[in-house]
Structures are given as C-alpha cells and as structure tokens.
Structure 1
Amino acid sequence: MAKLWGGRFSKNTDAFAEGFHSSISFDSRLYKEDITGSIAHAKMLGKQGIIEAHEAEKIVQGLEGILADIEAGKVHFSPHDEDIHMNIERLLIDRIGDAGKRLHTGRSRNDQVALDFRMYMKKENTAVIREIANLIQVLLQIARENLDTIIPAYTHLQKAQPSTLAHYMMAYAQMFSRDIERFQAAYGHADSMPLGSGALCTTTYPLDREYVAQQLGFHEITPNSLDAVSDRDFALEFLSAASICMMHLSRFCEEMILWSSGEFAFVSMDDAFSTGSSIMPQKKNPDMAELIRGKTGRVYGSLMTLLTVMKGLPLAYNKDMQEDKECTFDAADTLLSCLKVFTGMIRTAVFKKENLYATAGKGFTNATDAADYLVKKGMPFRDAHAVLGRIVVYCEGKGQGISDLTLEELKEFSDVFEEDVYENVSLEACVSKRTLPGGPARESVLAHIHSLEKFLSGLDAE
C-alpha cells in the first residue's frame, strides 16, 4: 500500500524502521481531536470556496461516520499509515473516494498535530483542575470538622508548636489551589488555534483561521506560524504544573505514611486504601500513599524528557517532537489516577484525636508561648528565650512538661511568672490566641475556608 506522502519515493520504508517511525500506538488517543479539527477545517474550506460545498459536506459526513465507528470499536488502526492523522485520512478516502483527498488542502501534519495536541491538553488541564477541586472540597470538609482538633506541628520533624488538624489540612488545600492556578495558566497558553500555520510558513489559500478557532472553541489564533508548529511549551507547562502537584501529593503522602505508623499512630487508613502482607498477618500497609509517592518520580521524568527533547531543536518542526506525546500522556494519566486515589484515601482516613492531642502536649510545644508570656510582662524577648531554654533543660531532667511545674519552681527561673501563666500556656490557649490571618485559631481557619470556598465557586462559574 502506497504512503499518502510517497510520490517522490521509489522504495518502501524498511519494515523495522516503519514500526520505529510509527506513532499510532500512542497517538491514537487523539482520534476525537483529529476528527473534530478536520471537520472544522473541511467546513472552512467549503465556506471559503477552496473546495466545493458538496465536497465539504461529504467530508464532514464521512468523518462523523468514522468517529462513530471508532467509538463503537469497529476501526482498527494500521502502523503502515504511521499516525492517527494519516490513518483517519486513509479511512476517509477509502470511504468517500476523491473528495477525501481534498481534506488536507491548506494544511500540514505539522499544524494538524499542533492543533490536536493543544485541544487534547486543554481537555487534560480541565480534567486535572476538576480532580484537584474535588480534593480541596474534601480537605475543606475535614477542616470544618476539626477546627478544634489539636495536633503537634513540626519543624525538622521535631515537635514545634501546637496547631489544629484544620490548620494542617488548609495548608495542603492552599497548595492545591495554587496548583489549579498553574493548570489554568497552562490551559490559557494551549488555548491558541494553530491550524493555518501549514508546515511552517502558512499557505496561499484564503483560509479563515478565526472561523476555525471559533468552531473549535479556541480563544485566539496563534500569531506566528513558525512558533505555532515548533514549540511545545504548552505541554511543558502542563508537565511542570503536574510535577509540582505530584510533589504536593507526595509530601502529603509521606506525612500520612508516617502518621499511620505505630510510632506516630495519628491516623488509620481505611481498609479500601490499604494492603496486607503475604507473610505477616498483622500488617496494614499504606501502599496507596507509597505508590503516589513513588509515581511522583515518574511524572518528574516526563517533564525532563520533554525539556530534553526540545532543548536543541532549530525552527521549525523536527521529528524529535514526536516524542512529546508519550511522556505527556503518561504524566496526565498518572496525575489523574493519583488525585482520584488520594482523594478517596484522605476522605476515608480516621484521625486519632486523642493521640494527636496527647502528643501535642509533649516536646515542649508551648515553650514559645511561655516565652511570649514573659515578654508581655515586660521582659525582653532574648532574655525570655534564655529563661525558657533553662526551664526546658530542667523539665527534661525531671521528665515533666512546663505546665507540670509548680509556680514556685517557675519563679526560681524568673519572678515574672504569676498564676495566670498556666492559662496562657495550655494547648488550647496556644492555638486560640493565634488569631492573625493565616494562623490556627478557629476564626482564622474559618476565614481561610471561606476564601477557598469562594475560589472553588469561581471555578464553577467559568
């Protein structure tokens, strides 16, 4: 079977090289974008009088029939025709004859694949934003239910200060909200219609690019044909956003893995998101969280793959760019599956409030508040810091906490201490008095929740 581009060739492609060259094994997932783009292109060709109106109509009907058959599982693609674009064009010609040969008028596979890929990435960005929004909704619900659930907060993995589970959940919710903004930006940069750029320098046909953009739901057309066919920064932006989002998921998973261990015992994963051991009957392993943590490196690899592919390419299109899709498709699939699994895992997790509270009371998490107590009584902060440092050493020797010391013991370190110190260094006071915006106090967290609820409602309105 002759290649559709084979007019100047006198011999067939080497059999092994043909399989090496073919991309149909992975770009077949672009079939809907390819057909939708071709329908818009055919309608434009007919509208502009570049082909006869009846031919354009015949092409559109043929493409619609191919789309229906593909979705019904009746079409089998051939590696001989290399990619999804040539496969569909071959099918069209076989079905409607010479009219099908007119479809490719005024376009190249270069701007055709750029169109398909941009359409696909718009769809993937939208899907990812939706999944992240679902996750944030779950985190907001957990936060609302745990405004007064006191937990230990850490720096350097050492107990630092008391916080709340709500404050903790909102930290990740805020990270994920920024991820949404990054995917929105990636969507925006993919939202330029490249068809009409041709192979690299447009065409002499009187194409109506704005009409095609309108038909396909693009915000604008690409302003430079060389750039339109030769860059994949819109995919790189998606991969960058995906890598950052996976990093956030991985950090969260790392904490859930630690928290579910016997050493922490802060959370219990639902059986539906845990696995057992083939030899140790007591084990309940947080495998879903571990897998997400592991798959983060896979998405990072996809970003590095495409950065490396693109870094040395001269204008305009080069065949290297066929390597843009497998890594991007895999990253998108991986991210979406991780978001879905993580959302289910965190929604069903059971937090052990008693253990969280008990641990928050250890490790001198109220030391800063005790120092601040002295400062508010008039002592310079550095002096107060030194006093509390000595108190901590004393407490460690006795195996006690600051609140366990008698007032007489505290006064041995400073006469500034009074009976009201105890109410100022309780875990509840340490949290409730941190009312600054962004803090763990109930009213501050509620304000943050309201802010992110407004952010999510804005997504629904778009």
Structure 2
Amino acid sequence: MTDSSVFPHPVYRDTVLAPLFEAVKRHHAADMARINRAHLVMLAETGILERPDAAALGKALAGIEDEVDIEALTYTGEHEDYFFVVEAELTRRLGDLGGALHTARSRNDMDHTLFKMALRRRAEALQGQLLALTQALTAKAEAEAETLIVAYTHGQPAQPSTFGHYLGAVIEVALRDAARLDAAIQALDHCPMGAAAITTSGFPIDRARMADLLGFEAPLLNSYGCIASVDYVTGLYSAIKLIFVHLGRVVQDMAFWSAFEVGQLHVPRSLVQISSIMPQKRNPVPIEHMRHLASVTAGRCDAIVDAMRNTPFTDMNDSEGEVQQAGYAAFDSGGRMLDLLAAFLPACSIDAAKVRRNSDAACITITELADTLVRQDGLSFRQAHDIAARTAQAVIEAGVPLSEGAEAFATAFAEVTGRASALDEAAFREAVAPETFVALRDRTGGPAPAALAEALGIYRAEQATLAQAQEARLARQSEAADRLDAAFDAVKEG
C-alpha cells in the first residue's frame, strides 16, 4: 500500500509537537546549548573530531547562540523538534560538517541529561526555600521559647506547652524532609551523557569529562539505566510531595488556632482580609491559600509519579517532555507556599489571655497535679489520676478555673485516700500552674527552656550541614560552567 502522507500530521503537530517545541524553548534550550558545547569539547579532546572541524563547529554554535532569537522561533513542522532545528542550522552554516556534532550521542541520553539539569536547578531552589523556612522557624522558636500555648490532641485541649516547643516539632519534620530532598537531589547528580541510544558508543568517548563539564558528580554508570530508569523523577517528586503533605498539617493547625472559638493564634492585620459585607470579620485567608498550595503541590507530585506506573523499562515518551513540563508546576506552587509560610508564622503571635482562659477552662495542667501527688504524697499513679479526674470534674461543673479548685481537690483527695494531702492551697496552685507544668518537662525533647534550647542548637547544626552540602554542589556546578566556557573557547579558537 502506498503511503502518500507527509510528516507531521497537522493534528499531531498542533497537539504534541508544537507544544513540546515551546516547552523546550522555555525550559531546556539553554541547557541544550551547554550540552552541545560540552559534547564538542569532548569530541575534540578525545580526537573523535579533528581540531579544525571542532573549531568550525564551535564558531557555528556560538554564532547560533548569538544570532538566533529563540523566543521568536515557531514550530513549523519542517523539523521534528528543537534538536533538529539546531542541527539544521549547523548544516546550513557548515554543510555536512554540521551533522558531525551528533557523533557518539543520541537524543535519548541528551533528553535525560536535559531533564536532570532542569530538575536539579529547580530542586536546589526549593531546597533553599525549605532551609530558609527552617531557619525562620528556628528564630521564631527561640523568641517564643517561653510563650505558653494550649496543645491539642484529637481536637481537644490536652496539655500546656510553648509555641517554641510546637515549632521545634515542625522544624524537625521539615529538616527530615530537607534531608529526603537532599538525597533526591544527589540522585540527579549523575550524568546520562555517553549512554547514546542504549549501549554507549563504539567511539572512544570520555563520559567522565562530559559529566564534569556539565557540573555532575559523575556519569550514571549503566547505559541502559541512563535512558530507562526514571527513579530520579519518582524519587524527587515523592520527596517533594512529603514536604507539602507535612506542612499542610501545620497549616491546618493554624486555621484551628486562629478560629474565634480557640483564638490562641493572632494573625496580624497585614495578613488578614476583610468581608465585603460583614464588618466584624477578620479572615486570615493566607492560611487557606497555603493549604490550597500545599494540596495542589502534593497532587501535582502524585500525578508525575503515577504517570510512571506500569510504563516499560526502556526509553519512552511517558517520562519525557510532557510529564517533565507538567512537573515543573509543582516547583512553582510549592515554592510560593514555602515563601508564604516563612513570612506568615514569624509574623503571628500568641494571645496569652486566650491561652490562659482555655487552659483554666479545660484543666489542661491536671496531668501535673497527678504527677505531683505521686512524687509528694506517695500515691500510685492510678490513685493520683483518680483524684485529679475528680478535681477536674468538680471545677468544670462549678465553672471555676482549676487554679481556684483547692477545696475541690482536698475533697477528692480525702474521698480516695481517707486522709489529707501534703499539698496546701499554695502548693496546689503551683502544681496546676502552666508555668510549672512546662518547667518540669525538662527531659530531652521537652518544652522546658533548657531542653528546647538544646534541641534548637541541634536543629541549627542540621540546617548548617544541609546548607553546606547544597553550597558545595552549587559551587561545583558554577566552577564546571567556568571550565566549560574556557574549554569551549579553546576548541573554538583551534
């Protein structure tokens, strides 16, 4: 059967090829230019290309970079994709020599290298934002180390703690997320170039030199894996998803804490919007935007990972242009959320009067009364718990603060033990004071000032370690860019 059709079909052109062309222009053209330069240097240094030919190609590449307005290019269908547009321009300028640049490589290894370069740049930026958030939260935790809050479990008032102690828990999770992101970034740091289509090349290529010039730590070893494995994608987006799943829970607490009925978190006017009809309303809507951005980001990450499900273990378009472009949106929404949270939480404050009111009303220090009875009256914990429960029930029914419940306590103690407690009214008030509760929780990881200060010092050290690892990677990439420029100029000049 005779096939008289002409590539590309107009619908295929408009629905796939043209959008991908625009995506390469926007996201990958600069990195493709770097790969072209590095590959040319490697071909010249290994003798695969003669020096005069390499110099001509170098001058042509530089000319294309200087003279072609990439933004103005539109997809016409004359060439399959952006790669072939560049190769066609080289051929127009140099004749057959223009095709020599593609010696010993494929679009397969080029594509995965392009994707890794784009992902590591975005991932490093996101890591920087996450570390900035942990640093802002650490400073806030230090400032709020003695600021009392009501800690909730199951949506109910539970025990007193401090805002600094709460933020310490958030910091710990964020640092573990940063460590997971750091590991995912390290998985991006091995270069696929030199794998060619699948099996490397019969030419004496130098894969390590390519990795070095492009700022990678080393080549990715197995050439089949270079074009087939996508764990650098799934691992990265999985790590990113967890950041926003976890931070979304914190944001939900902020919504709860700032509700009128709870009211322990005060959101400043700069972060509050008003109602168009209800003049009494203070709407802390940045909380809703952060919750939305966190959810959208996690969902976008899920979409990328799910796109890899049950795909063949080989080079395939399922992991390439379309899905890569879709994934970049996660960095945008996620980065916006991190920046907003890093500004929001440090700007907020705790309403001490409402904390005190809720503490008294809910008897949240009653646990320490039971503990005090064990230590000072020699009771078993179960006996002490029974007395504390009776005391709490009595003051709640009477509608009085726990701090005024000494008489109810004395009655409960006598009912359970048949004797009087060693705690007089002053000792009772001290035992049920939230300041006492926090001060006594001075074990490792507790809210007492010394324990929290020790923890914050550990967090700062972990932040520094992660920041130093990132600085080393970025410095290596910057130095590699300088080496590439120098090596390319040397080849171009012959």
Deviation at 1:126, TM superposition (A): 1.2
Is 1:450 aligned with 2:457?
yes
Match of 1:342 in 2: 341
Amino acid aligned to 2:9: D
Match of 1:361 in 2: 360
Distance 2:399 2:351 in 1: 25
Aligned length: 454
Deviation at 1:250, TM superposition (A): 1.3
Choose from 193, 208, 211 the match for 2:209.
211
Match of 2:22 in 1: 25
Is 1:294 aligned with 2:301?
no
Kept after mapping to 2: 8 A contact 1:34/1:84: no
Distance 1:69 1:360 in 2: 70
Kept after mapping to 1: 8 A contact 2:248/2:295: no
Choose from 131, 134, 140 the match for 1:133.
131
Gaps of 5+ in 1: 1-7
Match of 1:16 in 2: 11
* Structure 1 pair 421–200 and aligned structure 2 pair: CA distance change class (3 A): same
Amino acid aligned to 1:331: A
Match of 2:122 in 1: 124
Deviation at 1:191, TM superposition (A): 0.9
Match of 2:484 in 1: none
SS in 2 for 1:184: helix
Equivalent positions of 1:51-450 (< 5 A) are 51-67=49-65, 75-78=72-75, 80=77, 81=79, 83-94=81-92, 97-322=95-320, 323-376=322-375, 377-407=377-407, 409-414=409-414, 415-419=420-424, 420-450=427-457
Higher deviation after alignment, 93-102 or 291-300: 93-102
Deviation at 1:310, TM superposition (A): 1.7
* TM-score after normalising by structure 2: 0.85
Distance 2:313 2:212 in 1: 28
Alpha-carbon displacement from aligned partner over 1:130-174 (angstroms, at most 9, x marks no partner): 101111111111111111111100101111000001111111111
Distance 2:307 2:150 in 1: 45
Aligned-pair identity in percent equals 27
SS in 2 for 1:102: helix
Kept after mapping to 2: 8 A contact 1:93/1:101: yes
Deviation at 1:33, TM superposition (A): 2.0
Alpha-carbon displacement from aligned partner over 1:386-409 (angstroms, at most 9, x marks no partner): 222222222221112332112574
Kept after mapping to 2: 8 A contact 1:260/1:268: yes
Deviation at 1:74, TM superposition (A): 5.4
Aligned Cα RMSD in Å? Answer: 2.4
* Structure 1 pair 383–113 and aligned structure 2 pair: CA distance change class (3 A): same
* Structure 1 pair 9–438 and aligned structure 2 pair: CA distance change class (3 A): farther
The answer to which structure, 1 or 2, has the higher relative contact order (CA under 8 A, 6+ apart) is 2
* Structure 1 pair 295–108 and aligned structure 2 pair: CA distance change class (3 A): same
SS in 2 for 1:428: helix
